[in-house]
């Protein structure tokens, strides 16, 4: 009995089979064993970067509401004006916890509310702390997010 080795798979035929399988895929899906796909890492870093911006957006929104409240109180704005009433209504839950920290200075119809200034500082510090916490959990640099991803 003669053993014909030509029919047996060799290491080279296994590699050829894997290459053939990979090359039958569309060009954008071809994977190479020695290349790491950077897209999942890039998307994760992009999500963290977006969360920084979302946090600062909400901090800016809260700060703007409280700043409008402070200026309206300082200048003695008409409380029955729809816009002023709207700002007071939205900002009251944000400024409420700080109302009893300091006294309020009144001169005629103008009110200097120190507690609104404290609220603004506290919310900015909370936003800063949240962003720093995210940077500790998932550290990265701006250049890591803003460069193009090379997958080949």
Residue 59 in any domain: the answer is: yes
Instruction: Give how many domains the chain has, as a whole number.
Output: 1
Element holding 81 (H helix, E strand): none
Residue 129 in any domain: the answer is: yes
Residue 40 in any domain: the answer is: no
CA 45 – CA 128 distance, rounded (Å): 19
With contact defined as beta carbons under 8 Å apart, do 69 and 116 qualify?
A: yes
Residue 104 in any domain: the answer is: yes
Regarding pTM above 0.85, the answer is no
Tell me which residues of the chain have a pLDDT lower than 50. Answer: 19-25
Residue 149 in any domain: the answer is: no
Give the pLDDT confidence of 12-55 residue by residue, as tens digits.
555 555 544 444 445 555 555 555 555 666 677 777 778 888 99
Residue 126 in any domain: the answer is: yes
Residue 65 in any domain: the answer is: yes
Helix (H, G, I), strand (E, B) or coil at 106: strand
CA 116 – CA 91 distance, rounded (Å): 10
Number of residues that this document lists for the chain: 152
Domain that holds residue 69: 54-139
Helix, strand, coil distribution of the chain in percent, nearest 5: 65, 5, 30
**pLDDT for res 120:** 94
**pLDDT for res 9:** 54
**pLDDT for res 64:** 95
**pLDDT for res 19:** 47
**pLDDT for res 141:** 62
């Amino acid at each position: 009995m003669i053993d014909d080795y030509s029919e047996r798979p060799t290491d080279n035929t296994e590699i050829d089979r894997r290459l053939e399988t990979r090359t039958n895929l569309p060009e954008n899906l071809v994977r190479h064993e020695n290349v790491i796909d950077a897209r999942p890492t890039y998307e994760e870093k992009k999500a963290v970067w977006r969360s920084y911006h979302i946090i600062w957006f909400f901090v800016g929104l809260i700060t703007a509401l409280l700043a409008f409240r402070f200026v309206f109180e300082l200048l003695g704005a008409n409380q029955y004006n729809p816009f002023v009433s709207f700002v007071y209504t939205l900002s009251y839950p944000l400024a409420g916890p700080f109302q009893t920290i300091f006294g309020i200075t009144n001169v005629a119809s103008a009110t200097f509310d120190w507690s609104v200034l404290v609220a603004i500082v506290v919310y900015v510090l909370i936003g800063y702390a949240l962003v720093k916490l995210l940077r500790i959990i998932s550290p990265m640099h701006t250049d890591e997010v803003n460069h193009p991803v090379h997958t080949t």
